[in-house]
Structure formats: C-alpha cells, structure tokens
Structure 1
Amino acid sequence: MRLPAEWEKQKALLISYPHENSDWQPYLNEIREFYDEFINIVKKYQNLIILSPEPLNIKTSKSDFEVKIIKVKTNDTWVRDYGPISVEISKSDFELKDFTFNGWGLKYSANYDNLVNRRVFHTKKIGFVLEGGSIDSNGEGVLLTTSKCLLEENRNPHLSKEEIETKLKNFFGLKKVLWLNHGFLEGDDTDSHIDMLARFVAPNKIVYITCDDKDDIHYDELKKMEKELKRYGFDLIPLPFVSPKYFNNKRLPASYANFVIINSAVIVPTYNDTNDKEALKIFKKLFSNRDIIGLDSSTLIKEHGSIHCSCMNIF
C-alpha cells in the first residue's frame, strides 16, 4: 500500500463547480469565470471530472481529453478536503479512500460534501476525520502534516497523537509522519492545512512559505516552521511571501504553496502581487520538464482557499 506523490501520472482531476446555494453566491459570476479558465487549462493536459448540483453549460476549448460532469449536491467547492484520496494497493491498482469530512472541525455545514464520494464513486465511508489538504506525500512513504489540524479537538478527539499517527501509517502504508507544530496563515480556517504552508516537490525536496517582514503577524511562526523543517533533513526551497491581501477588511490566506501538479504541468496561484514572477521562476526551475502556468486566484481566496484546495487528483 502506498500514497502516491502528486507529480505521478493521474487519471483525472476532480473539481466541484460553484453554485448559488453556497458562499460564492454574492460573486458567483466572478468565481465561475475563474473555474471556467481553470477547467480550460486542465483539459489540455488530462481528463476532468466536474461535480455540480445543477446542469452545466461550460464553454470549453477543444481537447483530446474527457470532461465528465456529474450531478450531485454539494455544500461548497473545496473538494480537496472531501474528495476521495487515491491509495495504491498494488502496482498501478488504486483504491479511493473515503474519509469522514466534518466541515473542518464542525465549522461549516458538510452534510452534502460528506456524501459526495459515496454517491459518485460508490466508496465505503471510513470513520476517521481527514481532509486531503491536511496531508502531503513524497510518494516514498513519508507524509507531511501539521499538529494544529490533525490534533484539533473537533476532528478525532478520542484519539491521541500516537494513535492518529498509527492510523495514518496503516491507511497509507507510511514509514514516517513529519509533524509541523508551527506555521499558520491568517484567514485560513482549516487550522493550518499543510498545503498552504509546505509541500513536497520531489521525494527529497520541500517548498515552504517564508516571511521576511519582522512586523508581519506571520514572521515568528514561519521562522519556527522553517527551523522544524530543517531538522528533517530534506532539501528546502523557500517560496516568497505574498503581500497582505484583504477582503471585507479581513486578511486572506494567499500562498504560493497552494499549487497543483497535473500531468505535464503545474498550475501556480498568482495574486496580482509583486512576487508572482519570482514564484513562477522558482517553479520553472523545480519542474523544468513541465509547463508552469500562473492562474490569478484573487477571487478564489475571497473564500479562504486557493487552487490546490479547489481540486483533487485522481490516480
């Protein structure tokens, strides 16, 4: 049993389309424009599965890949956290694991989202709360995660850290779980998902967000996170920090770590920021054999997530 790395060959990318009965309602047309652009990018590279509670008429460019639209009720679009997690059970044979989703520790409604996998993929529910954005794999038995999320009191309160780690190792065939006790982004209501902070880009390489402004609220925590990462012995590549972005007077969790890897490409969130070009340059160096595509995610972060949060890789 093995949890694949995101850079491995994928069957499809799963996306959940925004609808009027969600928090996107006030700027629905704006966010749908983002999703249409996202979909058109992905379908140049691989198959797409789109979930929607209503019929869709998406204008997409021609492609050799399939776009499959499935009608199913959802609460929201953040399918990274309620979509199925692909696990290799034998060579090139994958099983979709359906973990329990409870709205990021009972913060939001999740009644429809928690049923999506069963209704669409006919999976069997696992009685363990786990969100896809809270874990990251190097494909070789090492998992990166945060204690703030996995040990949060409304996820699996009956389990100790040791018991949770044992379950993760059993679910995914892991050798090691790397826990980060520091690091956060203001506006991220997932309790510090790892996919906003640090990600594997190769079996021995991790990219992570940094902050050089000593007056910024994130400075101390991200410095402590950096020290933790250095203890684990991986090659580390710092990503530039996004200058503060606000909506309705609240700071948003803008992060270049929330990129998504698809077949032959990497889609990197941009934010109309002075560091966008520098971030794209870093990814071009890291993934020289893939197309690097910047996608303006300024609308997406209004609801406190970014590109990686909005999709799930299916292997």
Structure 2
Amino acid sequence: MTSIRFIPEWEKQSAVLIAWPPGSGDFAPWLGDVEQTYAAIAAAVSRRETLLIACLDPAHERRIGEILKNTGVDDNRVVFIRIPYDDIWVRDTAPLSRLNDGRVELLDFRFNGWGGKYECADDAALAARLVAAGIFGRTPRVAVDFVLEGGSVETDGLGTVLTTSHCLLNPNRNPGYGRSEIEACLSETLGADRILWLDHGKAEGDDTDAHVDTLARFCSEHTIAYTACDDESDPHHAPLKAMERQLQDLKQRDGRPYTLVPLPIPQPIRDEEGRRLPATYANFLIVNGAVLVPVYGDPADSVALERLAPCFPDREIVPIRCTPLIHQYGSLHCMSMQFPEAAGVSRP
C-alpha cells in the first residue's frame, strides 16, 4: 500500500491561489469585466480562507487593491505575491499537493505551454518561485520530470485518478510515453493505483487538449458530475454521449457504479470571429464551506446549480459570472489552485 496520496479538492484548505491578469495581457480587450469576475472570486474565497494573489509589480498590486475595495474581500486573508507569469491559468502551473507518509509535498511537474502552444518560460518556473518566495513555509517542493497540468487529473483521494486520453496520451506532452508509462508515473508521483481513462469529449474552443476539469469532476469518492448535451444538433452531442456511456461503465472500488450528475452545456457563446468558447459548469472550484460555480447568463445556469447542490450538502453553492474568462479559453477552476490545510501557507 503506497504512502503517497493525491489530496482531493474537498479536504480542508489553507489557501487558494489566483494570478491577476495584467492590463497589457491577453485579457486586455475585456479587462474591466474580467477584473469584476476576479473580484467576485476574491471575495468568495477570502471570506472562507487565505487568498494568494500573484501580481507582477508594486503598481499592479496597488491597482488590484483599489479594485478590491468595497467588494467584500477580507483584507486580513489576502496575501499578494509579486512574481512573473506568462498567463493566469495557475491550475496548470502551480504545484499539486500530495501527502507522503502524512507530510504535504508540493509537486512541480514540467509545464510546456499546453503542448508547445504558447511561450511559457515564466509559467514553467512559477511553482519553484512560489516555494522559493516562502509562502509555504517548510513545505518541500518535489520537481518531477514529466509534463502534467493540474486541470488534466482528478482524484477521489483514495488512489483513483480520472483523466483523458486525448490530453495525457497526446505526443505534445510526453512523446514516447504510452498508457502504461503514464500510469506508472501517476502511480509513483500521485499514489494512483487506479487510472480511469475517458476517451471521448472535448469542449469546443478548449485549447488544453481536453482537460478533465472541463468534462468530469469528482464531487466525492462516490459521485462524478459531468458535462452533458442532449441537443442532437450541437456538435458536442455525439462525443459527450460517448463520454457519458464510458462514465456509466466505470466502477468504484467495491464494484458499484458511480452516482453520475449530468451538467447541461450552455448555449453557444462565441467570440468576435464567431468561434465557440469553452463554457462548461464542470469547471467549478471547491473551497472551505462552499463551491464556486461558473455561470454564463444562460438558462442552463440554474439547472447546473440545482444539480450540484445535492452533491455538496454541507457547502454553499456560489454562482460566479465567468463569461469574461472564457474569452481566453478557460473558466473558474482553470484560473485557481487550492492548497491543503497542512501546506503551511503564510505571509512571506
């Protein structure tokens, strides 16, 4: 029995990290709307735990401070970290947390810009720089010579990892690695003794090669919420139905099927060129006492919120308007990373 355990999102947390978008970055055309979404997330998180905000320099920090005034943010729980970054999707660039013989370790996997799509030198160094900044106290960083993004793996906390073959088997990540080699790496680094592979499904407009956090999420060791589509005219229909059938065939350790909760996909939201953007409700974030759920001003918002509520009976369901975020092809879970209670988060 391995002593390593990949910590699930629903366990007690010490902090959540976000990286505030700069005025000159990719979000510049929608910056005001994006910052309103960030402020809403900052308020929801800081009411419940420490919020780590990565920013670029003192001027950027002052701007963020001004934006957060009168938004309900708990200033006593906000920690600014001045650090360089290329993009704001810290789910994929910040370290993952595991227990090793009961001690938290921060795993720094290699990051290659989602398969070489983007410049990423600062993002690739983000995890090491965060640890070096001292915000995690004595919690050790473990460098892993394997490309893996946090949004590509889900865990039940009991040794099961849920992922997608379209992402992890893509040769743009770890060329030459087959399924068995990847499973061996996940076993060694995350303590995974069961890998559940999804071979179908992708949110149109997603440039991560089908991260599982846009498609299917553990809500508990027994329950998986997933992106579903019943509209036969929608291009998502056939691949998501195939994914649904795979999920129905998956079994828990005791042989029982999982409790499956379908989350409807919103009506198409398109950019200025008419391209569909990757809006899904599966990209929620679990924090202490709450679940922050992305909403998009669509009738399906209320359906998703209603279906998720019974999955988290002891947590408040908090809708967050995330339409501005998907203009850069990610949503709420993609732009955040949680750290467990024992990670030793403190002011540097």
1:194 corresponds to 2:173: no
Q: Distance in 1 between matches of 2:73 and 2:265?
A: 36
Q: Is the 8 A contact 1:259 1:269 kept in 2?
A: yes
Corresponding residue of 1:290: 315
**Deviation at residue 62 of structure 1 after TM alignment:** 5.6
Aligned counterpart in structure 2 of residue 161 of structure 1, from 179, 183, 191? 179
Aligned counterpart in structure 1 of residue 98 of structure 2, from 87, 91, 114? 87
Deviations 1:247-298 (A, max 9, x none): 1111001000000000000000000000111111112221121111000101
Corresponding residue of 1:258: 283
Moved more, 124-133 or 41-50: 124-133
Q: Distance in 2 between matches of 1:287 and 1:120?
A: 31
Alignment of 1:145-156 (within 5 A): 145-156=163-174
Corresponding residue of 1:9: 12
Distance 1:90 1:124, change over 3 A: closer
Moved more, 10-19 or 48-57: 48-57
Q: Is the 8 A contact 1:118 1:124 kept in 2?
A: no
Aligned counterpart in structure 2 of residue 280 of structure 1, from 296, 302, 305? 305
Alignment of 1:36-51 (within 5 A): 36-51=39-54
Corresponding residue of 2:261: 237
Q: Is the 8 A contact 2:105 2:142 kept in 1?
A: no
Corresponding residue of 1:63: 74
Q: Distance in 1 between matches of 2:149 and 2:106?
A: 14
Corresponding residue of 1:33: 36
**Deviation at residue 54 of structure 1 after TM alignment:** 2.1
Q: Is the 8 A contact 1:256 1:269 kept in 2?
A: yes
Q: Distance in 1 between matches of 2:216 and 2:285?
A: 13
Q: Distance in 1 between matches of 2:143 and 2:25?
A: 24
Task: Please tell me the residue identity of whatever aligns with 1:7.
Answer: W
Corresponding residue of 2:109: 99
**Deviation at residue 124 of structure 1 after TM alignment:** 4.7
TM, length-normalised to structure 1: 0.97
Corresponding residue of 2:255: none
Alignment of 1:211-250 (within 5 A): 211-233=229-251, 234-248=258-272, 249-250=274-275
Distance 1:14 1:247, change over 3 A: same
Q: Distance in 2 between matches of 1:26 and 1:213?
A: 32
Extract unaligned runs of 5+ from structure 2. 133-140, 252-257, 341-348
Q: Distance in 2 between matches of 1:130 and 1:83?
A: 11
**Deviation at residue 64 of structure 1 after TM alignment:** 8.0
SS in 2 for 1:298: coil
Task: Please tell me the residue identity of whatever aligns with 2:308.
Answer: F
Task: Please tell me the residue identity of whatever aligns with 1:80.
Answer: R
TM, length-normalised to structure 2: 0.88
Q: Distance in 1 between matches of 2:119 and 2:216?
A: 27
SS in 1 for 2:18: strand
**Deviation at residue 20 of structure 1 after TM alignment:** 2.7
Q: Distance in 2 between matches of 1:210 and 1:27?
A: 29
Distance 1:96 1:287, change over 3 A: same
Aligned counterpart in structure 1 of residue 152 of structure 2, from 127, 134, 137? 134
Q: Identity of paired residues, percent?
A: 41
Task: Please tell me the residue identity of whatever aligns with 2:89.
Answer: W
Extract unaligned runs of 5+ from structure 1. none
Q: Is the 8 A contact 2:5 2:98 kept in 1?
A: yes
SS in 2 for 1:81: coil
